Structure 1
Amino acid sequence: MIPTSFDLSGRRALVTGATQGLGRDLAGTLAAAGCDLVVSARDRDGLERLAAQLRSEHGVRVAAVAADLSDAAATETLAASALDAFDGLDVLVNNAGISVPQAVVDVDAATWDRVLAVNLRAPALLGSRVGGAMARAGRGSIVNVSSVAGSLALAEHFSYCASKAALVMATKVLALELGPSGVRANSVSPTVVMTEMGQRVWGEEAKAAPMISRIPLGRFAQPGDVSDAVLFLASDASGMVNGVDLTVDGGFSVA
Protein backbone atom coordinates (compact mmCIF):
# COMPACT_ATOMS: atom_id res chain seq x y z
CA MET A 1 0.00 0.00 0.00
CA ILE A 2 1.29 3.48 -0.92
CA PRO A 3 1.57 5.67 2.20
CA THR A 4 -0.94 8.51 2.17
CA SER A 5 1.90 11.02 1.89
CA PHE A 6 2.64 9.62 -1.59
CA ASP A 7 -0.99 9.80 -2.69
CA LEU A 8 -1.42 12.40 -5.43
CA SER A 9 -5.17 11.98 -5.87
CA GLY A 10 -6.69 15.28 -6.92
CA ARG A 11 -3.32 16.78 -7.89
CA ARG A 12 -2.57 17.97 -11.42
CA ALA A 13 0.82 17.56 -13.09
CA LEU A 14 2.58 18.49 -16.31
CA VAL A 15 5.19 16.01 -17.56
CA THR A 16 7.33 16.97 -20.56
CA GLY A 17 9.02 14.48 -22.86
CA ALA A 18 6.29 12.04 -21.88
CA THR A 19 5.99 9.69 -24.85
CA GLN A 20 9.28 7.82 -24.58
CA GLY A 21 11.62 6.21 -22.09
CA LEU A 22 11.84 7.87 -18.71
CA GLY A 23 9.08 10.37 -19.46
CA ARG A 24 6.61 7.60 -20.19
CA ASP A 25 7.52 5.84 -16.94
CA LEU A 26 7.21 9.10 -15.02
CA ALA A 27 3.74 9.71 -16.40
CA GLY A 28 2.66 6.18 -15.49
CA THR A 29 4.06 6.47 -11.96
CA LEU A 30 2.28 9.76 -11.26
CA ALA A 31 -0.96 8.45 -12.76
CA ALA A 32 -0.72 5.32 -10.59
CA ALA A 33 -0.47 7.64 -7.57
CA GLY A 34 -3.78 9.22 -8.62
CA CYS A 35 -2.49 12.36 -10.33
CA ASP A 36 -4.32 13.96 -13.25
CA LEU A 37 -1.85 14.67 -16.03
CA VAL A 38 -1.00 17.01 -18.83
CA VAL A 39 1.48 15.09 -20.99
CA SER A 40 3.62 16.86 -23.56
CA ALA A 41 6.09 15.92 -26.30
CA ARG A 42 6.51 16.62 -29.99
CA ASP A 43 4.73 13.43 -31.13
CA ARG A 44 1.03 14.31 -31.16
CA ASP A 45 -0.15 10.81 -32.11
CA GLY A 46 2.08 9.23 -29.49
CA LEU A 47 0.69 11.59 -26.88
CA GLU A 48 -2.88 10.68 -27.71
CA ARG A 49 -2.10 6.97 -27.43
CA LEU A 50 -0.35 7.54 -24.09
CA ALA A 51 -3.24 9.63 -22.79
CA ALA A 52 -5.77 6.95 -23.72
CA GLN A 53 -3.66 4.27 -22.02
CA LEU A 54 -3.26 6.24 -18.80
CA ARG A 55 -6.98 7.02 -18.63
CA SER A 56 -7.84 3.36 -19.14
CA GLU A 57 -5.28 1.94 -16.70
CA HIS A 58 -5.50 4.47 -13.88
CA GLY A 59 -8.83 6.28 -14.24
CA VAL A 60 -7.26 9.73 -14.14
CA ARG A 61 -7.87 12.74 -16.35
CA VAL A 62 -5.19 13.17 -19.01
CA ALA A 63 -4.73 16.02 -21.49
CA ALA A 64 -2.22 15.82 -24.35
CA VAL A 65 -0.46 18.99 -25.51
CA ALA A 66 2.11 18.69 -28.29
CA ALA A 67 5.00 21.17 -28.14
CA ASP A 68 8.50 21.60 -29.54
CA LEU A 69 10.48 22.91 -26.56
CA SER A 70 13.30 24.16 -28.74
CA ASP A 71 10.87 26.97 -29.65
CA ALA A 72 10.42 29.60 -26.92
CA ALA A 73 6.97 30.64 -28.14
CA ALA A 74 5.79 27.01 -28.16
CA THR A 75 7.09 26.62 -24.61
CA GLU A 76 5.13 29.65 -23.46
CA THR A 77 2.01 28.27 -25.16
CA LEU A 78 2.51 24.92 -23.44
CA ALA A 79 2.68 26.59 -20.03
CA ALA A 80 -0.60 28.42 -20.66
CA SER A 81 -2.34 25.36 -22.13
CA ALA A 82 -1.21 23.09 -19.30
CA LEU A 83 -2.44 25.54 -16.67
CA ASP A 84 -5.79 25.84 -18.46
CA ALA A 85 -6.32 22.09 -18.92
CA PHE A 86 -7.45 21.39 -15.36
CA ASP A 87 -7.59 24.92 -13.98
CA GLY A 88 -4.08 24.95 -12.53
CA LEU A 89 -1.14 22.65 -11.77
CA ASP A 90 0.25 21.22 -8.55
CA VAL A 91 3.29 19.43 -10.01
CA LEU A 92 5.67 20.26 -12.85
CA VAL A 93 8.12 17.60 -14.05
CA ASN A 94 10.61 19.02 -16.55
CA ASN A 95 11.85 15.79 -18.08
CA ALA A 96 12.35 16.59 -21.78
CA GLY A 97 15.97 16.77 -22.83
CA ILE A 98 18.29 16.13 -25.76
CA SER A 99 21.94 15.28 -26.23
CA VAL A 100 24.01 15.77 -29.38
CA PRO A 101 27.49 14.28 -28.80
CA GLN A 102 30.23 16.49 -30.20
CA ALA A 103 33.90 16.93 -29.44
CA VAL A 104 34.63 20.35 -27.96
CA VAL A 105 36.52 21.43 -31.08
CA ASP A 106 33.57 20.49 -33.30
CA VAL A 107 30.83 22.37 -31.44
CA ASP A 108 28.66 24.56 -33.65
CA ALA A 109 26.43 27.39 -32.54
CA ALA A 110 23.19 25.91 -33.86
CA THR A 111 23.61 22.64 -31.97
CA TRP A 112 24.73 24.39 -28.79
CA ASP A 113 21.73 26.72 -28.90
CA ARG A 114 19.27 23.87 -29.53
CA VAL A 115 20.55 21.74 -26.66
CA LEU A 116 20.44 24.65 -24.22
CA ALA A 117 17.01 25.70 -25.48
CA VAL A 118 15.47 22.30 -24.74
CA ASN A 119 17.49 21.37 -21.64
CA LEU A 120 17.66 24.74 -19.90
CA ARG A 121 15.54 27.49 -21.42
CA ALA A 122 12.38 25.39 -21.67
CA PRO A 123 12.41 24.17 -18.04
CA ALA A 124 13.34 27.68 -16.94
CA LEU A 125 10.38 29.23 -18.77
CA LEU A 126 8.01 26.51 -17.58
CA GLY A 127 9.35 26.87 -14.06
CA SER A 128 8.76 30.61 -14.23
CA ARG A 129 5.26 30.52 -15.71
CA VAL A 130 3.92 27.42 -13.95
CA GLY A 131 5.83 28.22 -10.78
CA GLY A 132 4.30 31.69 -10.74
CA ALA A 133 0.80 30.23 -10.97
CA MET A 134 1.63 27.75 -8.21
CA ALA A 135 2.90 30.59 -6.04
CA ARG A 136 -0.37 32.46 -6.48
CA ALA A 137 -2.20 29.30 -5.42
CA GLY A 138 0.11 28.90 -2.42
CA ARG A 139 1.51 25.44 -3.12
CA GLY A 140 3.26 23.27 -5.70
CA SER A 141 6.25 21.11 -6.52
CA ILE A 142 8.68 21.52 -9.42
CA VAL A 143 10.99 18.61 -10.26
CA ASN A 144 13.68 19.09 -12.91
CA VAL A 145 15.39 16.05 -14.41
CA SER A 146 19.09 16.83 -14.60
CA SER A 147 21.97 14.32 -14.81
CA VAL A 148 25.20 13.34 -13.09
CA ALA A 149 26.70 14.88 -16.23
CA GLY A 150 25.79 18.19 -14.65
CA SER A 151 28.48 17.71 -12.00
CA LEU A 152 30.91 15.26 -13.64
CA ALA A 153 32.43 16.06 -17.03
CA LEU A 154 31.59 13.69 -19.87
CA ALA A 155 33.65 13.75 -23.06
CA GLU A 156 31.84 14.84 -26.21
CA HIS A 157 28.93 16.20 -24.16
CA PHE A 158 29.97 19.85 -23.88
CA SER A 159 26.55 21.41 -24.40
CA TYR A 160 24.72 18.64 -22.51
CA CYS A 161 26.92 18.88 -19.42
CA ALA A 162 26.70 22.67 -19.43
CA SER A 163 22.91 22.61 -19.74
CA LYS A 164 22.42 20.08 -16.94
CA ALA A 165 24.79 21.90 -14.58
CA ALA A 166 22.91 25.14 -15.23
CA LEU A 167 19.57 23.37 -14.69
CA VAL A 168 20.61 22.36 -11.16
CA MET A 169 21.43 25.96 -10.31
CA ALA A 170 18.23 27.21 -11.96
CA THR A 171 16.35 24.79 -9.72
CA LYS A 172 17.99 26.29 -6.63
CA VAL A 173 16.95 29.81 -7.67
CA LEU A 174 13.37 28.61 -8.20
CA ALA A 175 13.49 27.08 -4.71
CA LEU A 176 14.81 30.29 -3.21
CA GLU A 177 12.32 32.65 -4.82
CA LEU A 178 9.19 30.48 -4.85
CA GLY A 179 9.69 28.76 -1.50
CA PRO A 180 8.17 31.61 0.55
CA SER A 181 4.95 31.11 -1.46
CA GLY A 182 4.76 27.41 -0.66
CA VAL A 183 6.31 26.12 -3.89
CA ARG A 184 9.19 23.64 -3.68
CA ALA A 185 11.73 23.09 -6.47
CA ASN A 186 14.15 20.17 -6.61
CA SER A 187 16.09 18.22 -9.22
CA VAL A 188 17.07 14.61 -9.75
CA SER A 189 20.38 13.64 -11.34
CA PRO A 190 20.48 10.04 -12.56
CA THR A 191 23.32 8.09 -14.07
CA VAL A 192 22.64 6.12 -17.27
CA VAL A 193 18.99 5.07 -17.31
CA MET A 194 18.20 1.85 -19.16
CA THR A 195 15.41 3.11 -21.34
CA GLU A 196 15.26 1.92 -24.94
CA MET A 197 17.75 4.63 -25.83
CA GLY A 198 19.97 3.73 -22.87
CA GLN A 199 19.89 0.10 -23.95
CA ARG A 200 20.92 1.04 -27.49
CA VAL A 201 23.85 3.14 -26.29
CA TRP A 202 24.99 1.09 -23.28
CA GLY A 203 23.54 -2.37 -23.91
CA GLU A 204 26.81 -3.79 -25.22
CA GLU A 205 28.58 -5.42 -22.28
CA ALA A 206 32.07 -4.45 -23.41
CA LYS A 207 31.10 -0.77 -23.54
CA ALA A 208 29.04 -0.80 -20.36
CA ALA A 209 31.48 -2.73 -18.14
CA PRO A 210 33.97 0.10 -17.48
CA MET A 211 31.11 2.47 -16.56
CA ILE A 212 29.33 -0.05 -14.36
CA SER A 213 32.60 -0.83 -12.59
CA ARG A 214 32.54 2.76 -11.28
CA ILE A 215 29.04 2.37 -9.79
CA PRO A 216 29.19 0.85 -6.29
CA LEU A 217 25.74 -0.76 -6.70
CA GLY A 218 27.01 -2.46 -9.84
CA ARG A 219 24.26 -1.53 -12.29
CA PHE A 220 22.74 1.27 -14.31
CA ALA A 221 19.46 2.88 -13.23
CA GLN A 222 16.09 1.56 -14.35
CA PRO A 223 13.34 4.07 -15.23
CA GLY A 224 11.46 3.17 -12.06
CA ASP A 225 14.44 4.15 -9.91
CA VAL A 226 14.15 7.71 -11.20
CA SER A 227 10.35 7.81 -11.30
CA ASP A 228 10.14 6.77 -7.65
CA ALA A 229 12.52 9.59 -6.71
CA VAL A 230 10.40 12.07 -8.68
CA LEU A 231 7.23 10.77 -6.99
CA PHE A 232 8.86 11.39 -3.62
CA LEU A 233 9.77 14.96 -4.55
CA ALA A 234 6.34 15.62 -6.08
CA SER A 235 4.49 14.36 -3.02
CA ASP A 236 3.91 15.56 0.53
CA ALA A 237 6.44 12.95 1.69
CA SER A 238 9.13 15.51 0.79
CA GLY A 239 7.29 18.47 2.29
CA MET A 240 10.45 19.95 3.82
CA VAL A 241 12.73 19.19 0.86
CA ASN A 242 13.48 22.28 -1.23
CA GLY A 243 16.42 23.24 -3.44
CA VAL A 244 17.95 19.75 -3.37
CA ASP A 245 19.62 17.87 -6.21
CA LEU A 246 18.83 14.19 -5.54
CA THR A 247 21.49 12.03 -7.17
CA VAL A 248 20.18 8.69 -8.45
CA ASP A 249 23.41 7.05 -9.57
CA GLY A 250 24.10 4.06 -7.34
CA GLY A 251 27.05 5.89 -5.81
CA PHE A 252 28.82 6.70 -9.10
CA SER A 253 29.49 10.28 -8.08
CA VAL A 254 31.21 9.32 -4.82
CA ALA A 255 33.39 6.48 -6.15
Structure 2
Amino acid sequence: MSHPLFDIRGRVALVTGSSRGIGRALAQGLAEAGCAVVLNGRDRHALERTRAELADRTGATVHAQAFDVTDPGAVAEAIPRLEDLAGPLDILVNNAGMQHRAPFTEFLTEDWHRLLETNLSSAFLVGREVARRMTARGSGKIVNICSVQSEVVRPGIAPYSATKGGLKMLTKGMCADLGPSGIQVNGLAPGYFDTELTAALVADETFTAWVRGRTPAGRWGQVGDLVGALIFLCSPASDFVNGQLLYVDGGMTSVL
Protein backbone atom coordinates (compact mmCIF):
# COMPACT_ATOMS: atom_id res chain seq x y z
CA MET A 1 0.00 0.00 0.00
CA SER A 2 1.36 3.42 -0.91
CA HIS A 3 1.92 6.12 1.70
CA PRO A 4 -1.28 8.10 2.37
CA LEU A 5 0.56 11.36 1.68
CA PHE A 6 0.49 10.40 -2.01
CA ASP A 7 -3.21 9.50 -2.06
CA ILE A 8 -5.14 11.69 -4.52
CA ARG A 9 -8.16 9.45 -4.97
CA GLY A 10 -11.37 11.42 -5.41
CA ARG A 11 -9.64 14.64 -6.49
CA VAL A 12 -10.92 16.49 -9.58
CA ALA A 13 -8.24 17.51 -12.10
CA LEU A 14 -8.19 19.59 -15.28
CA VAL A 15 -5.33 18.93 -17.72
CA THR A 16 -5.12 21.39 -20.62
CA GLY A 17 -3.84 20.25 -24.00
CA SER A 18 -4.51 16.62 -23.11
CA SER A 19 -5.80 14.94 -26.26
CA ARG A 20 -2.32 13.56 -27.07
CA GLY A 21 1.34 13.46 -26.11
CA ILE A 22 2.54 14.46 -22.66
CA GLY A 23 -0.85 15.94 -21.69
CA ARG A 24 -2.60 12.67 -22.42
CA ALA A 25 -0.02 10.72 -20.40
CA LEU A 26 -0.40 13.09 -17.44
CA ALA A 27 -4.19 12.81 -17.59
CA GLN A 28 -3.97 9.04 -17.72
CA GLY A 29 -1.63 9.01 -14.72
CA LEU A 30 -4.04 11.11 -12.66
CA ALA A 31 -6.96 8.89 -13.69
CA GLU A 32 -5.00 5.77 -12.71
CA ALA A 33 -4.30 7.41 -9.34
CA GLY A 34 -8.05 7.75 -8.73
CA CYS A 35 -8.79 11.29 -9.88
CA ALA A 36 -11.79 12.37 -11.91
CA VAL A 37 -10.13 13.99 -14.91
CA VAL A 38 -11.29 16.74 -17.27
CA LEU A 39 -9.51 16.70 -20.62
CA ASN A 40 -9.12 19.86 -22.69
CA GLY A 41 -8.20 20.65 -26.28
CA ARG A 42 -9.61 22.41 -29.34
CA ASP A 43 -10.31 19.36 -31.52
CA ARG A 44 -13.59 17.94 -30.19
CA HIS A 45 -13.28 14.67 -32.09
CA ALA A 46 -9.72 13.96 -30.92
CA LEU A 47 -10.70 14.92 -27.40
CA GLU A 48 -13.68 12.59 -27.34
CA ARG A 49 -11.55 9.74 -28.70
CA THR A 50 -9.03 10.26 -25.93
CA ARG A 51 -11.77 10.54 -23.32
CA ALA A 52 -13.31 7.23 -24.34
CA GLU A 53 -9.93 5.47 -24.46
CA LEU A 54 -8.82 6.74 -21.04
CA ALA A 55 -12.16 5.98 -19.40
CA ASP A 56 -12.03 2.44 -20.80
CA ARG A 57 -8.38 1.91 -19.85
CA THR A 58 -8.53 3.31 -16.31
CA GLY A 59 -12.14 2.88 -15.26
CA ALA A 60 -12.04 6.46 -13.96
CA THR A 61 -14.49 9.27 -14.55
CA VAL A 62 -13.14 11.20 -17.55
CA HIS A 63 -14.79 14.29 -19.04
CA ALA A 64 -13.91 16.22 -22.20
CA GLN A 65 -14.23 20.00 -22.46
CA ALA A 66 -13.21 21.59 -25.76
CA PHE A 67 -12.29 25.27 -25.43
CA ASP A 68 -9.49 27.59 -26.53
CA VAL A 69 -7.19 28.23 -23.56
CA THR A 70 -5.81 31.37 -25.27
CA ASP A 71 -9.25 33.03 -25.44
CA PRO A 72 -10.08 34.91 -22.21
CA GLY A 73 -13.83 34.78 -22.84
CA ALA A 74 -13.80 31.07 -23.61
CA VAL A 75 -11.80 30.34 -20.46
CA ALA A 76 -14.09 32.45 -18.26
CA GLU A 77 -17.10 30.57 -19.61
CA ALA A 78 -15.56 27.10 -19.53
CA ILE A 79 -14.24 26.85 -15.96
CA PRO A 80 -17.63 27.35 -14.22
CA ARG A 81 -19.21 24.97 -16.74
CA LEU A 82 -16.71 22.18 -16.18
CA GLU A 83 -16.90 22.59 -12.39
CA ASP A 84 -20.68 22.20 -12.64
CA LEU A 85 -20.04 19.02 -14.63
CA ALA A 86 -17.16 17.41 -12.73
CA GLY A 87 -17.12 19.17 -9.36
CA PRO A 88 -14.79 21.78 -7.84
CA LEU A 89 -11.27 21.55 -9.24
CA ASP A 90 -8.61 20.37 -6.79
CA ILE A 91 -5.86 20.15 -9.41
CA LEU A 92 -4.97 22.18 -12.50
CA VAL A 93 -2.24 21.04 -14.89
CA ASN A 94 -1.38 23.81 -17.36
CA ASN A 95 0.05 21.64 -20.13
CA ALA A 96 -1.14 23.30 -23.36
CA GLY A 97 1.85 24.25 -25.44
CA MET A 98 3.50 24.23 -28.85
CA GLN A 99 6.93 24.43 -30.44
CA HIS A 100 8.15 26.30 -33.52
CA ARG A 101 11.76 26.23 -34.71
CA ALA A 102 13.45 28.86 -36.87
CA PRO A 103 16.63 30.96 -36.78
CA PHE A 104 16.14 34.05 -34.65
CA THR A 105 16.55 36.52 -37.54
CA GLU A 106 13.97 34.61 -39.61
CA PHE A 107 11.39 34.07 -36.89
CA LEU A 108 8.05 35.50 -37.99
CA THR A 109 6.25 37.95 -35.73
CA GLU A 110 3.01 35.97 -35.96
CA ASP A 111 4.82 32.81 -34.82
CA TRP A 112 6.29 34.71 -31.86
CA HIS A 113 2.81 35.81 -30.77
CA ARG A 114 1.38 32.33 -31.33
CA LEU A 115 4.00 30.81 -29.03
CA LEU A 116 3.42 33.48 -26.37
CA GLU A 117 -0.34 32.97 -26.39
CA THR A 118 -0.21 29.18 -26.35
CA ASN A 119 2.68 28.55 -23.96
CA LEU A 120 2.41 31.46 -21.55
CA SER A 121 -0.86 33.39 -21.80
CA SER A 122 -2.92 30.20 -21.57
CA ALA A 123 -1.37 29.33 -18.21
CA PHE A 124 -2.11 32.85 -16.96
CA LEU A 125 -5.71 32.83 -18.20
CA VAL A 126 -6.67 29.35 -17.02
CA GLY A 127 -4.61 29.68 -13.84
CA ARG A 128 -6.26 32.98 -12.94
CA GLU A 129 -9.79 31.65 -13.45
CA VAL A 130 -9.18 28.43 -11.54
CA ALA A 131 -7.25 30.20 -8.77
CA ARG A 132 -10.17 32.54 -8.10
CA ARG A 133 -12.25 29.48 -7.22
CA MET A 134 -9.49 27.63 -5.36
CA THR A 135 -8.80 30.75 -3.28
CA ALA A 136 -12.41 30.84 -2.13
CA ARG A 137 -12.11 27.18 -1.07
CA GLY A 138 -8.71 27.64 0.60
CA SER A 139 -6.83 24.86 -1.19
CA GLY A 140 -5.60 23.66 -4.56
CA LYS A 141 -2.67 22.36 -6.58
CA ILE A 142 -1.53 24.03 -9.81
CA VAL A 143 1.22 22.45 -11.90
CA ASN A 144 2.61 24.39 -14.86
CA ILE A 145 4.38 22.23 -17.46
CA CYS A 146 7.65 24.02 -18.04
CA SER A 147 10.72 22.61 -19.81
CA VAL A 148 14.48 22.24 -19.65
CA GLN A 149 14.24 25.28 -21.91
CA SER A 150 12.99 27.20 -18.88
CA GLU A 151 16.66 27.07 -17.89
CA VAL A 152 18.81 26.37 -20.97
CA VAL A 153 18.50 26.89 -24.71
CA ARG A 154 19.60 25.58 -28.10
CA PRO A 155 19.85 27.45 -31.42
CA GLY A 156 16.57 27.94 -33.28
CA ILE A 157 14.21 28.03 -30.30
CA ALA A 158 14.83 31.42 -28.68
CA PRO A 159 11.11 32.42 -28.60
CA TYR A 160 10.07 29.00 -27.25
CA SER A 161 12.67 29.30 -24.50
CA ALA A 162 11.44 32.81 -23.72
CA THR A 163 7.91 31.48 -23.19
CA LYS A 164 9.10 28.62 -20.99
CA GLY A 165 11.37 30.93 -19.01
CA GLY A 166 8.40 33.22 -18.55
CA LEU A 167 6.31 30.28 -17.37
CA LYS A 168 8.96 29.51 -14.74
CA MET A 169 8.67 33.04 -13.37
CA LEU A 170 4.86 33.00 -13.63
CA THR A 171 4.97 29.84 -11.49
CA LYS A 172 7.01 31.61 -8.84
CA GLY A 173 4.79 34.69 -8.97
CA MET A 174 1.63 32.61 -8.64
CA CYS A 175 3.20 30.93 -5.61
CA ALA A 176 3.81 34.33 -4.02
CA ASP A 177 0.23 35.49 -4.59
CA LEU A 178 -1.65 32.24 -3.98
CA GLY A 179 0.40 30.53 -1.28
CA PRO A 180 -1.29 32.44 1.55
CA SER A 181 -4.62 31.00 0.35
CA GLY A 182 -3.44 27.42 0.74
CA ILE A 183 -2.61 26.85 -2.94
CA GLN A 184 0.65 25.28 -4.11
CA VAL A 185 1.90 26.27 -7.58
CA ASN A 186 4.86 24.36 -8.95
CA GLY A 187 6.44 23.60 -12.31
CA LEU A 188 7.15 20.21 -13.86
CA ALA A 189 9.95 20.56 -16.40
CA PRO A 190 10.46 17.68 -18.85
CA GLY A 191 13.69 17.16 -20.73
CA TYR A 192 13.72 15.58 -24.18
CA PHE A 193 10.80 13.16 -24.44
CA ASP A 194 9.84 10.67 -27.11
CA THR A 195 6.31 11.65 -28.21
CA GLU A 196 4.46 11.96 -31.49
CA LEU A 197 5.38 15.65 -31.53
CA THR A 198 9.12 14.86 -31.37
CA ALA A 199 9.01 11.83 -33.71
CA ALA A 200 11.09 13.57 -36.39
CA LEU A 201 13.80 14.46 -33.86
CA VAL A 202 13.83 10.93 -32.44
CA ALA A 203 14.22 9.57 -35.97
CA ASP A 204 17.17 11.90 -36.62
CA GLU A 205 20.17 9.75 -35.68
CA THR A 206 22.47 12.72 -35.18
CA PHE A 207 20.04 14.51 -32.88
CA THR A 208 19.25 11.34 -30.93
CA ALA A 209 22.97 10.74 -30.44
CA TRP A 210 23.27 14.29 -29.10
CA VAL A 211 20.35 13.75 -26.66
CA ARG A 212 21.84 10.48 -25.40
CA GLY A 213 25.30 11.97 -25.04
CA ARG A 214 24.01 15.11 -23.31
CA THR A 215 21.77 13.22 -20.85
CA PRO A 216 23.37 11.28 -17.97
CA ALA A 217 20.53 8.74 -18.18
CA GLY A 218 21.63 8.10 -21.77
CA ARG A 219 18.18 8.04 -23.35
CA TRP A 220 15.09 9.97 -24.37
CA GLY A 221 12.42 10.32 -21.69
CA GLN A 222 9.26 8.25 -21.92
CA VAL A 223 5.98 9.95 -21.02
CA GLY A 224 5.44 7.57 -18.11
CA ASP A 225 8.59 9.01 -16.49
CA LEU A 226 6.60 12.17 -15.67
CA VAL A 227 3.67 10.58 -13.85
CA GLY A 228 5.30 9.98 -10.45
CA ALA A 229 6.59 13.55 -10.26
CA LEU A 230 3.15 14.88 -11.17
CA ILE A 231 1.41 12.78 -8.52
CA PHE A 232 3.87 14.11 -5.93
CA LEU A 233 3.14 17.72 -6.92
CA CYS A 234 -0.63 17.10 -6.82
CA SER A 235 -0.67 15.25 -3.49
CA PRO A 236 -0.52 16.21 0.19
CA ALA A 237 3.15 15.12 0.09
CA SER A 238 3.95 18.49 -1.55
CA ASP A 239 1.90 20.72 0.76
CA PHE A 240 5.03 22.63 1.82
CA VAL A 241 6.57 22.67 -1.67
CA ASN A 242 5.70 25.87 -3.50
CA GLY A 243 7.12 27.89 -6.38
CA GLN A 244 9.58 25.15 -7.38
CA LEU A 245 10.52 23.59 -10.71
CA LEU A 246 11.01 19.84 -10.70
CA TYR A 247 13.19 18.90 -13.68
CA VAL A 248 12.49 15.42 -15.05
CA ASP A 249 15.26 15.36 -17.60
CA GLY A 250 17.53 12.38 -16.91
CA GLY A 251 20.07 14.82 -15.44
CA MET A 252 20.48 17.03 -18.51
CA THR A 253 20.33 20.38 -16.69
CA SER A 254 22.85 19.20 -14.06
CA VAL A 255 25.83 18.66 -16.36
CA LEU A 256 27.89 20.59 -18.88
TM range (shorter): over 0.9
Provide the residue aligned with 2:124 in structure 1: 124
Percent sequence identity over aligned pairs: 39
Is the aligned partner of 1:176 residue 2:168? no
Deviation at 1:16, TM superposition (A): 0.8
| Aligned-residue CA RMSD (Å) | 1.5
Distance 1:46 1:168 in 2: 29
Alignment of 1:85-96 (within 5 A): 85-96=85-96
- Normalised TM-score (structure 2): 0.94
| 1:17 matched residue in structure 2 | 17
After superposition, residues 98-247 of structure 1 pair within 5 angstroms as 98-247=98-247
Tell me the amino acid that sits aligned with residue 62 of structure 1.
V
Of residues 122-131 and 206-215 in structure 1, the stretch that sits farther from structure 2 once superposed is 206-215
Q: Following the alignment from structure 1 to structure 2, what is the Cα–Cα distance between the partners of residues 73 and 114? A: 18
Give the C-alpha shift of residue 136 in structure 1.
Answer: 0.9
SS in structure 2 opposite 1:207?
helix
Q: Equivalents in 2 of 1:23, 1:237: separation in Å? A: 22
Q: Deviations 1:181-235 (Å, cap 9, x if unpaired)?
A: 1100000111111112223322333221122211111112110112221111011
Question: Residues of 2 paired with 1:159 and 1:72: CA distance?
Answer: 22
Q: C-alpha offsets along residues 142-167 of structure 1, whole Å, 9 cap, x if unaligned?
A: 00001111111221112110000000
Cα distance in 2 for residues equivalent to 1:138 and 1:82: 19
Corresponding residue of 1:44: 44
Measured against aligned partners, the alpha-carbon deviations of 1:43-93 in whole angstroms (never above 9, x if no partner) come to: 211211222223233332222111233433333333333333223100000
Deviates more, 1:189-198 or 1:135-144: 189-198
Q: How many residues align?
A: 255
The answer for unaligned runs of 5 or more in structure 1 is none
d(CA) in 1 for partners of 2:56 and 2:201?
32
Structure 2 stretches lacking a partner, 5+ long: none
